[in-house]
A and B are shown apart, each in its own frame.
Chain A
Amino acid sequence: MEEDNAMYEKILIDIKNLIRSDPNLKDFCIVPINENKNKSPVLYEEHNLGLELWCVKYVYAYLYKQLFKLRRLLSKNRLIQQKSEEIDKYLISALLIHPEVATFWNMRRELVEYGVINLDIELLLTKLVLSNKSKSNEAFAYRKWIVSKLMKGIYKHDVVSTLALLNQEFTVTEMAAQNSPNNYHAWNHRMWCLQSAFVKHDFADTPMYLNLVFEQLDFSIRWIQSHISEHAGFHYRQYLLKCVLNSCCSVSERTGKIRCLLETFAHIKACDDEGFVQQLLGRSSTCVNRSMVNFILLLLEDLFYFMDQLNELFPGHEAVWYHRRFLIFHILQIAHEYHNVVWFRNVNVSGLMLNSNDNIINVDSGLSDTKYPKLPKYELDAVESSYLYKILLKFEFEHIQGNSLSKCIDAQRELARRHEKWLHFILCFNKSNSFI
């Protein structure tokens, strides 16, 4: 027993020392070695840390007991320095092995508050934990707590330090997102970091803001192209696109390029971005700000180019079609805002006859029939009579037709059919609203 405890202590000290001495540690994992070969179960190679499986059970049971013995005293801050350092040592291994235990993270928070451990070590520890358990909610929550402390310490005009911190968080979230697909917590963390930086420095109207957003938009294109079925990646892009709305900066270098692309597509020519949007949507009765123009151009670029490319390369992906929904929804929404008219959607699915055993999504809607269900027609509003509305309708319905052909794979045809229904029943975006 005594002997065993000494061995566990040795393991815990080794791990703690490795973390303290190598700030470039990359990775932690439990190595599937089931028997004790009478050598140290702590493995260290090329900045990677490992712990052999056979000892995990015993080490954890040992430190669990030690930690709860000291729990009360710690929370009352009644521990001498030496005991606090002992707790630090136990906690490091406890969390590497089992990061879901909130109480252990809370104990570390207390150590931070008492000034026993410094924040840099905490960034390293959470990174190691996440390298092994990439979806750990508790590890991300703790990291967020640490990052907000670090961010508080940065001066309000020191955007450079914040950007450095952001880059570090981008690296960690990218690693976690690589390790487990559709990693909800990783993407949330990334968005939270960006959002916190925006709030702290309130720099939306400086070019730096949009540069940062564009940089991330470019990253997201690369990410999506290699993770096509991960809706979480698309969602991140959607968040970034909406960020564009916060800034009234002109970024004509970027938007001008988009405009050139779109001009050929829409067969119109304009001398600037504002003029182009005016040709698409008509003259607005309210004052149009730059953020709207940027937003519209980016959404259209995504819809007409990026989506087309993805659709060709990766048919049959729901995530791709869902992003399309986002784009159309927001194009229509911003168009209504542009004209300052209320967007009235009369979501009405009563046309779908349900039999008790089917999912409403699969009920035949009769939409593909030549007899199109006509809605009673009212007068067209400024959005519905715009040039953009017409080309959007045409583009969407050609897209649906093109992806419903017999040469398309089943999954793609099914998604095209769903898209048509969603446009019709949920978005109320259909041919009866136009002259086509």
Chain B
Amino acid sequence: MAIPIKDIKLPEDSPKELLLDKHVEFIKRYGKSDDDYEFGMSDYLRMSGMYWGLTALELVDKLHILPENDVIDFIKRCQDPETGGISACIDHDPHLLYTLSAVQILCMYDRLDAVDASAVVNYVTSLQLPDGSFTGDKWGEVDTRFSFCAVATLALLNRLDAIDVEKAVSFVESCKNFDEGFGSRPFSESHAGMVYCCLGFLSITGRLDIVDRDTLAWWLCERQLPSGGLNGRPEKLPDVCYSWWVLSSLTMLGRLHWISAPALKRFILACQDVETGGFSDRPGDVADPYHTVFGFAALSLLGFDSIKPVNPTFCMPQHVIDKLKIKHQLL
């Protein structure tokens, strides 16, 4: 009886080189889809979509191929004059997720002046609850992802002092499990995506000391499957976006060298679409900007020369973080 481990097999003919030009074309095209229906369907996360695409472009030094003014103008129009929060798209409701994406884009262009930054700070501050957690918007859903968005936004605006950091840390700590992994709320299962958010949060607040580094790094390394790809939880399939979440987490913990880099590289490269360009979650699936930026970012951490260094905490080009002198802790 042979029960194979849940994994995939890389196709023989999968790409082994980085198809850089194709990916640039892919991102460029993606912003201009003329299928109205498809386009309207992704309005609800447009701001993050732009952050993924633009970050991918900047990582390969091609940010200039898209018109900066249109982007900045769009972001301006997405800031809610009442709350200061930023929405995914014009007329949609503001949310922390898109507020962070917008601020990240503005930092890349060095155009923080384009929005009312103090209104953004007020918005973020207004979402902290007495237990230190953050809600994503005024309707009250709590998630460690939002804790990350809050401190990342404030750190990029150099206003971390605007919230109760100590309480925010104790909330995140209350979401830690016995395996030292984190879930989205207290009692939730450890999940590599949430591990990234919580480590990123702790990196920004300078409190990585609250995790047992090697216990968590061990759990993260166990996410690597025989195909070389990484999954986000036990017995799940490998996925390119988890390459980023797990790898950036290991980098923050100073344990990047614990994983098999050649195997992971092979897996990520195999997820490129040779025809359309872009990366997909697994070989053969449809490519999208989300997996494309995380594919790039992971390859950057693995030391690909043709991709600029990426910052593991913010998932932004390192030179942007350097220029803005954003403090954060890495082990």
Give every chain B residue within 8 A of A326 (Cβ-Cβ): 178
Kindly state whether residue A425 has any CB partner on chain B within 8 Å. yes
Indicate if the CB atoms of A102 and B93 lie closer than 8 Å.
yes
Q: A67 to nearest B CB, angstroms? A: 9
Kindly state whether residue B261 has any CB partner on chain A within 8 Å. yes
CA distance in complex: A382, B212 (Å) = 24
Indicate if the CB atoms of A360 and B235 lie closer than 8 Å.
no
Question: Nearest residue in B to A315 (C-beta to C-beta)?
Answer: B3
Indicate if the CB atoms of A322 and B188 lie closer than 8 Å.
no
Interface string of B71-101 (1 = CB under 8 A from A): 0000000000000000110011101000000
Kindly state whether residue B189 has any CB partner on chain A within 8 Å. yes
Contact of A319 among B37, B185, B234, B260 (CB under 8 A): B234
Contact of A229 among B2, B6, B36, B191 (CB under 8 A): B6
Given A68-B91, A330-B178: A411 and B218 within 8 A (CB)? Answer: no
Kindly state whether residue A317 has any CB partner on chain B within 8 Å. yes
Kindly state whether residue A293 has any CB partner on chain B within 8 Å. no
Give every chain A residue within 8 A of B191 (Cβ-Cβ): 184
Q: A429 to nearest B CB, angstroms? A: 13
Kindly state whether residue A325 has any CB partner on chain B within 8 Å. yes
Interface string of B173-196 (1 = CB under 8 A from A): 000001100011101110100000
Count: A-B pairs, CB below 8 Å: 125
Interface string of B227-249 (1 = CB under 8 A from A): 00000011110000000000000
Q: B187 to nearest A CB, angstroms? A: 5
Dominant secondary structure at the A interface? helix
Q: A247 to nearest B CB, angstroms? A: 16
Indicate if the CB atoms of A100 and B44 lie closer than 8 Å.
yes
The number of residues on chain B lying at the interface, defined by a beta carbon within 8 Å of a beta carbon of chain A, is: 50
Indicate if the CB atoms of B178 and A360 lie closer than 8 Å.
no
Question: Nearest residue in B to A104 (C-beta to C-beta)?
Answer: B44
Kindly state whether residue A265 has any CB partner on chain B within 8 Å. no
CA distance in complex: A414, B2 (Å) = 13
Most buried by B among A102, A141, A329, A425: A102
Indicate if the CB atoms of A235 and B189 lie closer than 8 Å.
yes
Kindly state whether residue B117 has any CB partner on chain A within 8 Å. no
Question: Nearest residue in B to A361 (C-beta to C-beta)?
Answer: B221
Give every chain B residue within 8 A of A390 (Cβ-Cβ): none
Kindly state whether residue A101 has any CB partner on chain B within 8 Å. yes
Question: Nearest residue in B to A187 (C-beta to C-beta)?
Answer: B189
Question: Nearest residue in A to B222 (C-beta to C-beta)?
Answer: A361
CA distance in complex: A60, B235 (Å) = 37
Q: A366 to nearest B CB, angstroms? A: 17
Kindly state whether residue B215 has any CB partner on chain A within 8 Å. yes
Give every chain B residue within 8 A of A354 (Cβ-Cβ): 257-258
Give every chain B residue within 8 A of A16 (Cβ-Cβ): none
Give every chain B residue within 8 A of A306 (Cβ-Cβ): none
Q: A266 to nearest B CB, angstroms? A: 24
* Ranked 6 nearest A-B pairs via Cβ: A235-B189, A360-B258, A141-B141, A359-B260, A231-B234, A101-B44
A-B contact list, 9 entries, CB within 8 Å: A60-B37, A71-B91, A141-B139, A317-B3, A319-B234, A322-B234, A329-B178, A359-B263, A411-B5
